[in-house]
Structure 1
Amino acid sequence: MMSQFRTTLRNRIDDVRQAITEARQAGDGYAASLHHARLEDLLHLAARNDVDTSRTVETTVTEPADPR
């Protein structure tokens, strides 16, 4: 059961990272900021449940895009 949770969580993190990239490429800083906030929530959830996210976050940009 925990293995499925970990897999799902990592997949959601990957999806949000992709959404951040797409929003930035589209010039939508607001959407990128919203996705970044979601990413932070998912990373906190992972940390609370001892899910290793080093593979998923190694290329994650840590600063949200400027929403202007």
Structure 2
Amino acid sequence: MESIISRITVDPTVCHGKPTIRGSRLMVATILELLSAEMTYDELMEDYPSLQKEDIQACLLYR
């Protein structure tokens, strides 16, 4: 079983090297900002259909 944190990648050619969710351009900082604005997991996954619960958890662990 892979580590949940491996869902986060840093690539200098994607989003200026900022941490993103693997396979997307969705930045960890964006997810954390939305969570701090009291957006729920379900709301996030509705707005970003490719997002999975484990991706959100990985963002929280990464910070």
**Structure-1-length-normalised TM-score:** 0.33
Of Structure 1 and Structure 2, which has the larger fraction of its residues in strand? Answer: 2
Q: Which has the higher contact order (CA 8 A, sep 6+)?
A: 1
Of Structure 1 and Structure 2, which has the larger fraction of its residues in helix? Answer: 1
